[in-house]
Amino acid sequence: SEEPMWKKKLMHSLKERNRKETSFFDSIFAANNRLFDSNVQLQMENLRLSVDNEQLRSGAGLAGDSRSIASSAKIQAMEKKLMTQQEELTDLHKRKGENAQMIVDLNIKLTEMTKKAQDREEKYTEQVTINQSLKAEVQMLSQNISELKGLNTILRDEYTALQLALSSLEDKLRKVQDENRQLVDRLMKYKAKDADKLNEENETLLRKRTEKMRRELEDAAQDASRRSSSPILPHDGKDRGLGDLSGAGAKAAGFFSVSLPTSVHLKFDAHDGEVNAVRWCPLDRIIATGGADRKVKLWDVGTGTMEPRGTLVGSNAGVNSVDFDSTGTMILGTSNDFASRVWTVQDQRLRHTLTGHSGKVMAAKFLSEHTRVVTGSHDRTLKVWDLRNRACVETKFAGSSCNDLVTTDGSGSCIISGHFDKKIRFWDTRTDSSSNDIVLSGRIASLDLSRDCNYLLSCVRDDTIKLLDLRMSHVVKSFSHDGFKVGCDWSRVSFSSDCTYISAGSADGSVYIWNISGRHETILKDHSSAVT
């Protein structure tokens, strides 16, 4: 196998290296052994010579003087030889010490080399392991590359198929769009016909009402001429049927007047919960109410009693405001579900649902009859909607939550909105930004416009009501009372029909009424909670 082979190679290389490195020390070891043997021999000979010298010394006294001279010479020769042998022995000891030191140094080097060899062996083993892991990783990556190539091929095939499917779907989409365009054109033609028919019916109805009113006025004039000779004109109550008239023209004709209420005329339960909005129909004696129960209800008060005319459903949250168009045939409601809805009054059907705001919609008005709508929301924007296309055609960014709005003319070219940041903003539908903003002393809760569009009422959260002259763009009158408290950010304020009085609901459940000159007139108390 591969593992024993590299071990054999490693052992062979170590043995060969050991043989080469130890061969340099063989001569040193041999010389050291020879010196050691010579040292032993010299020590033995020195010992023998010492013994002989002692014997000679001891025998010198006995042999006499005759032999003393020869012995002395021999002794001197032996001593000289002994000195020489001692010098050689000293030199051998010195060389032995040097050889021993050399052996120690070589042993240290051998130990170091052995340690380096072991380190290199460990590194070699580690590198072999890393090499094997890298080989396995390379093999795995090669397999992954092969798999990815296969997946890439599959994805390319799927991409080609999807492109073909997309092309076919685009062709189908174009065909469907063409069909849809044709259907929309047909639908618009049908709607135009329906609108023309509806306008014709409205015009017929208005002509009938005008004719009826004219006849009643002629009859009243004839009655008045017949009774002109009488010194006292009795009041028989026949003028009560002229209560449908409104405006300065009717008041000038003498058939309309505004009187302050003193007591509750009608009282009924309108909704399951709070009532957030009330609006009179501009033509018929019908009241629309919107409540927290997500419903808009219609009530007929023409007979002196409150008779339900229908319930408009479709909202997914509480209704905040309601508004009729100028013909009284359509009603607009805003809701806390971020949407506004348009119903037809006659059949009580939901016609349009306008979605696009990101916050609850607080106010909405019709623009230019019933073809366009403007809405104001807590998402700090105002949106203009085209009901014919059922789409938002313009978005105006106010920068603050909108609590109420009004329009100044029938064409809807100017919009006035009241906001949380204490500003009243004026918008021209032909531009994107507001101009001539008016800053008041508190958050704007609601707005109302006079019939001649010259004066604007604003209910402010500092518990005051401001009257603004739009021709001069400043506050001309401020209304307040010790007990009057604005209960919420959408508390309503309103002009009377002849713009001689203003009324507003208070947090204590009362309705406060002021004369337009600034004098407080009366307080109506019957509610048990805040009047909005």
Residue ranges covered by each domain of the chain: 93-181, 275-525
Separation between Cα atoms, residue 279 and residue 323, nearest integer Å: 6
| Whole-angstrom distance, CA of residue 232 vs CA of residue 227 | 9
pLDDT value at position 224? Answer: 66
For 267-286, write each residue's pLDDT tens digit.
888 888 889 899 988 887 88
pLDDT of residue 227: 52
DSSP string, 341-410: EEEETTTTEEEEEEE--SS-EEEEEEETTTTEEEEEETTSEEEEEETTTTEEEEEEE-SS-EEEEEESST
Structure confidence at residue 417 as a pLDDT band (50, 70, 90): very high
Which pLDDT value is given to residue 166?
92
Residue 199 half-sphere exposure toward CB, CA atoms < 13 A: 9
13-17, 71-75, 246-250, range with the lowest pLDDT = 246-250
- Give the confidence band of 249 by pLDDT, cuts at 50, 70, 90: very low
> Distance between the two ends of the chain, CA-based, in angstroms?
96
Q: Which tops the pLDDT comparison, 86 or 360?
A: 360
Q: How confident is the model at residue 337 (pLDDT cuts 50, 70, 90)?
A: very high
* Bigger pLDDT: 451 vs 6: 451
Determine the average pLDDT of the residues in 184-204.
78
pLDDT digits (tens, 9 = 90+) for 301-323: 877 778 888 899 989 999 999 99
* % the chain with pLDDT above 70: 89
Is the model more confident about 501 or about 195? 501
Of 375, 381, 442, 436, nearest in space to 407 by CA: 375
The region of weakest confidence among 175-179, 251-255, 257-261 is 251-255
Is the pLDDT higher at 202 or at 240?
202
Distance in angstroms (rounded) separating the CA atoms of residues 474 and 341: 35
On whether the CB atoms of residues 328 and 349 are closer than 8 A, the answer is no
Residue 443 CB contacts under 8 Å (≥ 6 apart), including other chains: 403, 419, 420, 421, 422, 460, 461, 489
pLDDT-derived band at 404 (thresholds 50, 70, 90) equals very high
Q: What is the pLDDT of residue 65?
A: 54
Predicted local confidence at residue 476, as pLDDT: 93
Q: Return the higher-pLDDT residue of 201 and 443.
A: 443
pLDDT band at 403 (very low <50, low <70, confident <90, very high): very high
* pLDDT surpasses 60 at 489: yes
Q: Tell which CATH architecture fits domain 275-525.
A: 7 Propeller (2.130)
Query: Which stretch of DSSP H or E encloses residue 166?
Result: helix 68-226
Residue 215 has pLDDT above 60, yes or no: yes
Q: What is the pLDDT of residue 236?
A: 38
State residue 479's pLDDT score: 94
pLDDT in tens, 220-234: 777 766 554 433 333
| Mean pLDDT of the region 168-188 | 88
pLDDT: which is higher, 235 or 490: 490
pLDDT at 162 (0 to 100): 93
Residue whose token pair is 């059907």: 349
- What value does the mean pLDDT of the chain take? 83
For the beta sheet containing 520-525, the strands, ordered from the edge strand earlier in sequence to the opposite edge, are 493-495, 501-505, 510-515, 520-525
Q: Name which of 15-24, 103-112, 164-173, 501-510 the model is least confident about.
A: 15-24
Neighbours of 479 (CB within 10 A): 22
Instruction: State pLDDT tens for residues 52-76.
Output: 777 777 665 555 555 566 667 777 8
pLDDT at position 248 over 50: no
What pLDDT is recorded for position 440? 92
Whole-number Å distance between alpha carbons of 96 and 464: 122
Lowest-confidence range among 28-37, 195-204, 229-238?
229-238
331-335, 364-368, 378-382: lowest mean pLDDT where?
364-368
Question: Residue 369: pLDDT band by 50, 70, 90 thresholds?
Answer: low
Taking 70 as the threshold, does the pLDDT of residue 462 lie above it?
yes
